Amino acid sequence: MNENEPQKLYRFRPIERFDEVICEYVNLSPPWKSNDPFDSSLRIKSILEKDQLEYVDGSEAKNQADLCNLLVEVLSELPPSRDVQEVRLNVRVACFSAQKHPKDMLMWSHYAKNHSGFCIEYDFVKLRETVKSQGAKLEKVRYVKKLPTVSDLDDVEDVSKAIFEKFTIWDYEEEWRIASFNQTIEKVYVKECIDEVIIGCMRSPLSPEVEKLRRFCHKNNIKISYRQPFKTKFELKEDQHVQRQILDWERKGEIDILLKTHEECELMENFRSVYEKLNDIHSRIREKDCFKTALSKMYEELYKNLRGNN
């Protein structure tokens, strides 16, 4: 692996779009459907060669009509070229982020429905080989200040280079993208490349949607984790308390009871109110054993309330 290549790639999604079948592949979409109106846009360099420009400039055209006729003569000798829009319509892409860790709050906000969605972590080497074997291309996006320019729309290499260039305002995404110039390739199967599924910090770990993801991960031996905000800096971290508690509930066979009593937002609000109390206790209690006791009591209280509602 090249030292400039990432070990992992990430794809942020709204949880409502989760489906076990969908997780098996990545959809390739036309770039004009993206949130960037300039995605995969191109401009063509001057279609007149230097000697042709000199021929026009040195002509004896005496008026605008003569000049127009001269240009028509020159242009008629040029080989036909495809339209820029036609090229853009034929491209299919899927986007990933190469951040070292999925902690960027903007990515969660923009692509995972304000932190209530999920993020899929892919192994880079496996993904690259898988994409290649299915006739597509995985490449790093280059951030530029000017619109990509090509000399000939029939030059596949030239056009391909421009497809992987975006305006510098998007550089925080650290994007890599899958691209195909074949309209018939609409999806790439990537399930075997998934290493981890990460749940956003604004989604209850006991929601039905998360339970579907959890079952998918268990079935396919994929790690699942949860995120929460740091208290001292603008970053996200793995929520190990939730992770351990979910595993404990599963081990004791209590998770099904909790899920059964989960009704829309009510349980989520209850869960978060308990967590706010836990965070308050954590900030005031320094002794580790005391915190463990308090933590155990709070979860016991939550569990009793849920069984009472059931």
Q: What's the confidence (pLDDT) of residue 249?
A: 75
CA dihedral 9, 215, 103, 238 (to 10 degrees): -130
- Provide block-wise average pLDDT over 10 residues at a time, the chain (310 residues): 84 83 83 84 57 47 52 50 62 88 82 92 96 94 84 66 88 93 87 94 85 89 90 85 80 65 50 58 53 61 58
- Using a cut of 0.85, tell me whether the model's pTM lies above it: no
133 close to 215: Cβ distance less than 8 angstroms: no
Give the 3-state DSSP-derived string for 277-305, with helices as H, strands as E and coil as C.
HHHHHHHHCCCHHHHHHHHHHHHHHHHHH
Q: What's the confidence (pLDDT) of residue 1?
A: 61
Over the stretch 14-26, which tens digit does the pLDDT of each residue have? 988 777 666 788 9
Domain range list for the chain: 1-238, 240-310
In angstroms, rounded to a whole number, what is the distance separating the alpha carbons of residues 262 and 256? 10
Q: What's the confidence (pLDDT) of residue 255?
A: 66
* H or E, element range at 86: helix 84-90
Over the stretch 263-282, which tens digit does the pLDDT of each residue have? 444 545 555 565 565 556 55
Got the DSSP string for 157-219?
A: HHHHHHHTEEEGGGGGG-EEEEEES-TT--EEE-GGGEEEEEE-TTS-TTSHHHHHHHHHHHH
Q: What's the confidence (pLDDT) of residue 258?
A: 61
Q: 291-297 — which CB contacts under 8 Å span 24+ positions? A: 295/241
Over the stretch 70-115, which tens digit does the pLDDT of each residue have? 555 545 554 444 555 666 677 899 999 997 666 778 899 999 999 9
Q: What's the confidence (pLDDT) of residue 294?
A: 61
Q: Which amino acid is at 40?
A: S
